[in-house]
Structure 1
């Protein structure tokens, strides 16, 4: 079977689709253009506006101590305690360690952002050696930036290297070794990036 040039042109017109006047380089699909307005958050952010009821409930909280003159939140934060340097009582020996919750995901898969550094630690543990003291005689006061310990034999005013959450912190007394272990839950500004 022979083809002449006019037959080949007719065959090409049959195979050609409408609007195909350009070269084969233009056949590549064009990428869609995205702008900043096209990027949307997957989660909705809810903003809670304080109402009069909410603000009033803050001021009408029950006091923890019925004999207290003011709440602990009303006392201004002091950078350091002046009377600790003039106090004749001994300063106890103490040791600061950091602790983090490590799971198998952190060890084997290494999917999280945790590192062995102190920036990835959730808890600061302070061990205080209080020889000759009883648990009943120890008075421990903790704020976000300061730990204050008073007892008949010892006095410690310790500014904390990181802000702590006093509500979720705790202390344990070991009577056999006379050691008070204070576990402070750290509350730092960029913890959401580390955990």
Structure 2
């Protein structure tokens, strides 16, 4: 017998040993491979050990109402204004990020500001409202939602950043029929960007 035939024979035995299933596992494998009609077809979820059912624990101060379809926390802010059956059109708008810079920022780079939106303080929203008078505009601003309504237009805009709704300002440019809304953004780490 030469060395090659011994190596191939031992390799085949090792391979068959790897592929063979131990007897105690064979019973469990037959049950998994032969599902009863009540169990249904196998899926990727059947791989691995059986999963235990997680028990749902309600917080002690929260009362569960079985008639509710969802929790109030699951509803996004501003969805109460959304009305898909409203025939009014959505006006065109632009969102512009603004930052206040001085000579020390532009020439010396002393305040570490850069052109990115992370260094912007204000959010300017320009809304085109053709055929609208300033007296016809109803504007409601929340932390994450801008709601604008006129007789011809309706805009429900989810803002890209939370804003301070109490310090915003709006001006209507009659000649261009554009409403400009300037809002101050609220961010957690403003003390890092601005000193």
Regarding TM over 0.5, the answer is: yes
Q: Which runs of 4+ in 1 moved over 2 A?
A: 76-86
Instruction: Tell me what 1:137 maps to.
Output: 136
The equivalences for 1:66-145 within 5 A come to 78-81=77-80, 83-145=82-144
1:179 matched to 2:167: no
Partner deviation per Cα, 1:24-71 (whole Å, 9 max, x = no partner): xxxxxxxxxxxxxxxxxxxxxxxxxxxxxxxxxxxxxxxxxxxxxxxx
- Counterpart contact for 1:96–1:125, Cα < 8 Å: yes
Provide the secondary structure at the position in 2 that maps to 1:83. Answer: coil
Give the structure with higher Rg (CA).
Answer: 1
Q: C-alpha separation between the residues in 1 aligned to 2:81 and 2:138?
A: 18
Q: C-alpha separation between the residues in 1 aligned to 2:80 and 2:87?
A: 14
- Counterpart contact for 2:144–2:159, Cα < 8 Å: yes
1:164 matched to 2:140: no
**Structure 1 alignment gaps of length 5 or more:** 1-75
- Cα shift at 1:82: 5.4
RMSD of the TM alignment (CA)?
A: 1.6
Number of residue equivalences: 120
**Structure 2 alignment gaps of length 5 or more:** 1-74
- TM norm structure 1: 0.59
